[in-house]
């Protein structure tokens, strides 16, 4: 289902591939103007060029608060405001047991997956309120509510992201700003291309649906939450996981 985003200005981080790219494409198809931000500026530019002048690209490292502030300022300068934001940028991090997790890697993972979302909301929220209100969707994970051995940093960041989303929703819901989180299961994106067949089959087996999800399915839920059809939904964490969390 295509939603009507005509007249809306959107910002998507992690927009160069996978879920982020799918969100950008669905927003643009609905008529939104979109700033597609990614640490890979060339890939973000390729996405933008494939969609026409309605979409523009920006290189940004969301773990840098000054870069995030510039990102939101750039969106306002290029399009005139901000109504919709999808904070999707994230990294997986090392797979190590908790006591063996390097401090540098811990801070790197939280720097992108948690601090980057906080920085984004810190600057997006005033811009959205100044534009008359809107919606934020933060990309969590099934690991925002489940554990995963060897992924302490990632799991900690995603659990915290869900809590931060709920707190922010309580703070701003009366001011015309809805804030929700989406929790994808394992999604068939370029991040899994290096996985061998046995490991891939093991991931599939964790999902009662018998397959991995697609970026387009996650984008469809995300865009529903961004749309006016979800006007009474805020402070929620929505799974799209093929039954993974019901096991």
> What are 214-234's pLDDT values in tens digits?
999 999 999 999 999 999 999
How does the average pLDDT of the chain come out, rounded?
96
- Residue 140 confidence (pLDDT) above 70: yes
Sheet holding 177-184, edge to edge: 55-59, 33-38, 9-13, 84-87, 134-139, 177-184, 237-240
Residue 192 pLDDT: 76
- Residue 133 confidence (pLDDT) above 90: yes
**Number of folded domains in the chain?**
1
Q: Is residue 68 part of a domain?
A: yes
Q: Are 178 and 233 in contact (CB under 8 A)?
A: yes
Residue 130 pLDDT: 98
Q: Is residue 198 part of a domain?
A: no
**Percent of the chain scored above 70 by pLDDT?**
99
CA–CA separation, 72 and 153 (whole Å): 27
- Residue 115 confidence (pLDDT) above 70: yes
The per-residue pLDDT for range 79-114, each reduced to its tens digit, is: 999 999 999 999 999 999 999 999 999 999 999 999
Q: Is residue 235 part of a domain?
A: yes
The model's confidence at residue 35, banded by pLDDT at 50, 70 and 90, is very high
Average of pLDDT values for 190-219? 89
Catalytic residue set: 154
The model's confidence at residue 1, banded by pLDDT at 50, 70 and 90, is low
The model's confidence at residue 128, banded by pLDDT at 50, 70 and 90, is very high
Residue 147 pLDDT: 94
Residue 2 pLDDT: 80
Q: Is residue 60 part of a domain?
A: yes
Q: Is residue 247 part of a domain?
A: no
Q: Is residue 202 part of a domain?
A: no
Q: Are 15 and 88 in contact (CB under 8 A)?
A: yes
**Three-state DSSP class for 128?**
helix
Average of pLDDT values for 129-139? 98
Task: Report yes or no on whether pTM surpasses 0.85.
Answer: yes
Least confident of 11-20, 22-31, 130-139, 185-194: 185-194
Domain that holds residue 33: 9-185+216-239
Q: Is residue 64 part of a domain?
A: yes
Average of pLDDT values for 117-122? 98
Q: Residue 146 class from Cβ within 10 Å (0-12 exposed, 13-18 middle, 19+ buried)?
A: middle
Q: Is residue 190 part of a domain?
A: no
CATH number at residue 166: 3.40.50.720
- Residue 14 confidence (pLDDT) above 70: yes
């Amino acid at each position: 289902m295509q939603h009507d985003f005509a007249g809306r200005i959107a910002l998507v981080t992690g927009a160069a591939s996978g879920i982020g790219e799918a969100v950008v494409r669905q927003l643009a198809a609905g008529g939104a103007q979109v700033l597609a931000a990614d640490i890979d500026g060339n890939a973000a530019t390729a996405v933008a060029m494939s969609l026409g002048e309605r979409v523009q690209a920006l290189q940004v490292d969301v773990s840098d608060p000054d870069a995030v502030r510039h990102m939101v300022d750039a969106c306002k300068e290029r399009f005139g405001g901000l109504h919709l934001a999808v904070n999707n940028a994230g990294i997986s991090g090392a797979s190590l047991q908790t006591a063996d997790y390097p401090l540098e890697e811990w801070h790197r993972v939280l720097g992108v997956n948690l601090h980057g979302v906080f920085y984004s909301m810190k600057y997006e929220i005033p811009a959205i309120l100044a534009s008359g209100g809107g919606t934020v969707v933060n990309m969590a994970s099934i690991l925002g509510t489940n554990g995963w051995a060897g992924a302490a940093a990632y799991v900690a960041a995603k659990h915290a992201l869900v809590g931060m989303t709920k707190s922010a929703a309580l703070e701003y819901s009366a001011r015309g700003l809805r804030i929700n989180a989406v929790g994808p299961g394992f999604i068939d994106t370029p991040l899994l291309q290096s996985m061998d067949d046995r490991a891939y089959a093991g991931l599939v087996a964790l999902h009662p649906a018998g397959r991995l999800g697609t970026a387009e399915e996650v984008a469809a839920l995300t865009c529903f939450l961004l749309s006016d059809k979800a006007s009474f939904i805020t402070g929620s964490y929505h799974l799209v996981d093929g039954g993974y969390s019901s096991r």
